[in-house]
Amino acid sequence: MEHLILVAEDDSHTRESLRRAMTRAGYRTLTAADGGAALDILKSEAVDVLLSDLKMPGMDGMTLLDRVRAEFPETAVIILTGFATVGLAVEAMKKGAYDFLTKPVDLGKLELLLGHALEARRLTQENRELRLRLRETAGLKPLLGRSAAMQRLRETIEQVAATDAAVLVLGESGTGKELAAHAIHYGGARAERPFVKVSCAALPEGLLESELLGHERGAFTGARERRKGRFELAHGGTLLLDEVGDMSPQTQAKLLRVLQEREFERVGGTDTIRVDVRLITATNRDLEALVAEGNFREDLYYRLNVVPVRMPPLRERVEDIPILAAHFLGSCAERWGKPVPEVTPEALALLCRYPWPGNVRELQHAVESMLVFSRGGAIAAEDLPPAIRGDERTADPAERHSGATLRDLERQAVLRTLVATGGNRRKAAEILGIGLKTLYRKIQEFRLQ
């Protein structure tokens, strides 16, 4: 791969001779006569190494260095300096410059230095990629989404991950509760220890208890061997109790005892077992209502709900739909070795308009089935399942949003139109039938970006 070098130098003679030398050495080379022009190039090109003079009219080399470190951390900076300003160059290295050379530049030294800088950069990149891949194989998938609600959620998860408190993840089906539980485990001190999951809804009464606590040989018919329970398997790590709202009263009582005493016996056993487990529970049911109805123990509820984490439904964060759709389209296409198809603006607008009762999981399945049926070209409105395409006759927005305030509806309308126009404000204002200024005011008012 050809490396890109940017030379920022106000003296045209030096600039030209550097450009010629770099080109001769096999690098792609661009030049700028001051810091401002260099920044413009950095914004549009992936520059590997910036060679920058210190004294330049307009933005000088030191200011440029600050900006590059903050905005383009991938770019290595080599400072060029006269003898009189060697002190400044040392200052620049403290600020993160890779190295400096005194003028007149010894081209042999420069080539050597460039080679080192590129090698160091390659190693840091490789390192980061390895770390990323490690996290992925550890099971960490990022919670995607740029909506304010999603950003807040990621912050909450980060804070919660740093503690050892019991977490109750609440949210409709398919909102990413399990993903959030993963993120809490892998973002915390127990990341290297096991993450164990049990679904309380999947197992019949009685079996859940032995699944959680384990059992001794002969504890009940079919218990041919002694078996460790999930609490024991999660020792040192995290236990996710999914669908905890579906737990029977008996098992609730057992669980409460384990949490209070921090020890238990296997079913049919007498040995006391102590475990150190962080508990995360999740449910799509309204636990508070279950408590009020007497179907969920209040004392257990308080123990589980030390920190509640609420997953926002997808219909309340329409701005995440295009990002998620593109993500699922990309990963699914990769899995099946298909090219990633485009989505027409009309199809995207329909995806944004549909209320997604099954939330992110429903979107994922819809996108995957779109890909199965796609005939190679862009995915158009006709390719969407009928339910998502929507029947024009029932496409009355007020009907779909009964219960929403007028302000909510207005925000949704502005947001959906912006998403559908790919952020083109002029076009969005036209569609909405308002002036551009009014649109800007609404964007500010509703904090849409």
Ligand X SMILES: Nc1ncnc2c1ncn2[C@@H]1O[C@H](COP(=O)(O)OP(=O)(O)OP(=O)(O)O)[C@@H](O)[C@H]1O
Rounded to whole angstroms, the Cα distance separating 134 from 172 reads 30
Least spacing, CB of residue 178 vs Mg ion, in Å: 4
Residue number, nearest CB to ligand X: 176
Under the binding rule (CB under 6 A), the answer on residue 143 touching ligand X is yes
Least spacing, CB of residue 277 vs ligand X, in Å: 20
Segment near ligand X (CB under 6 A); pick from 108-116, 137-145, 258-266, 383-391: 137-145
Under the binding rule (CB under 6 A), the answer on residue 171 touching ligand X is yes
Least spacing, CB of residue 352 vs ligand X, in Å: 16
Segment near Mg ion (CB under 5 A); pick from 169-177, 218-226, 346-354, 432-440: 169-177
Rounded to whole angstroms, the Cα distance separating 325 from 375 reads 18
Which is closer to ligand X, CB of 211 or CB of 216? 211
To 5 degrees, how large is the angle CA 412–CA 413–CA 414?
95
Pairing relationship of beta strands 195-199 and 214-215 according to DSSP bridges: unpaired
Rounded to whole angstroms, the Cα distance separating 139 from 161 reads 15
Q: Collect all residues with Cβ–Cβ distance below 8 Å to 40 and sequence separation of at least 6.
A: 32
Give me 385's structure tokens. 């399942």
| Cβ 113 vs Cβ 27: under 8 Å | no
Least spacing, CB of residue 10 vs ligand X, in Å: 47
Least spacing, CB of residue 196 vs Mg ion, in Å: 14
Residue 144 binds which one of Mg ion, ligand X, none, with CB within 5 to 8 A depending on kind? Answer: ligand X
Q: Collect all residues with Cβ–Cβ distance below 8 Å to 141 and sequence separation of at least 6.
A: 179, 182
Binding mask 399-418 for ligand X (x = CB under 6 A): --------------------
CA distances from 245 to 36, 116, 200, 290, 309 (A): 59, 59, 8, 8, 15
Residue 361 binds which one of ligand X, Mg ion, none, with CB within 5 to 8 A depending on kind? Answer: ligand X
Give me 438's structure tokens. 């009014």
DSSP state letter for 244: G
Under the binding rule (CB under 6 A), the answer on residue 312 touching ligand X is no
Binding ligand X by CB under 6 A: which of 145, 188, 214, 237?
145
Find where tokens 């810091």 sit.
35
Binding ligand X by CB under 6 A: which of 67, 69, 361, 389?
361
Residue 15 binds which one of ligand X, Mg ion, none, with CB within 5 to 8 A depending on kind? Answer: none
Least spacing, CB of residue 318 vs ligand X, in Å: 14
Omega prior to 339 cis, within 30 of 0: no
Least spacing, CB of residue 310 vs Mg ion, in Å: 15
Residue 179 binds which one of ligand X, Mg ion, none, with CB within 5 to 8 A depending on kind? Answer: ligand X
Question: How many DSSP H helices and E strands does the chain contain?
Answer: 20, 14
Q: Which residues pair with 32 in a beta bridge?
A: 8
Site for Mg ion in 396-415 (CB under 5 A): none
Binding ligand X by CB under 6 A: which of 81, 210, 281, 364?
364
| DSSP assignments along 207-243, one per residue | HHHHHHHEE-TTSSTT--S-EE-HHHHTTTSEEEEET
Which is closer to Mg ion, CB of 111 or CB of 178? 178
**Count of residues that interact with ligand X, criterion CB under 6 A:** 17
Binding ligand X by CB under 6 A: which of 6, 179, 350, 384?
179
Least spacing, CB of residue 104 vs ligand X, in Å: 54
| Cβ 351 vs Cβ 388: under 8 Å | yes
Which is closer to Mg ion, CB of 96 or CB of 358? 358
Least spacing, CB of residue 241 vs ligand X, in Å: 12
108-114 long-range Cβ contacts below 8 angstroms, 24+ apart: 110/18, 110/21, 110/51, 110/78, 111/21, 111/25, 113/78, 114/5, 114/25, 114/27, 114/49, 114/78
Binding mask 282-301 for ligand X (x = CB under 6 A): --x-----------------
Binding Mg ion by CB under 5 A: which of 178, 265, 368, 410?
178
Which residues form the interface with Mg ion (CB under 5 A)?
Answer: 177-178
Which residues form the interface with ligand X (CB under 6 A)?
Answer: 141, 143-145, 171, 173-179, 284, 324, 360-361, 364
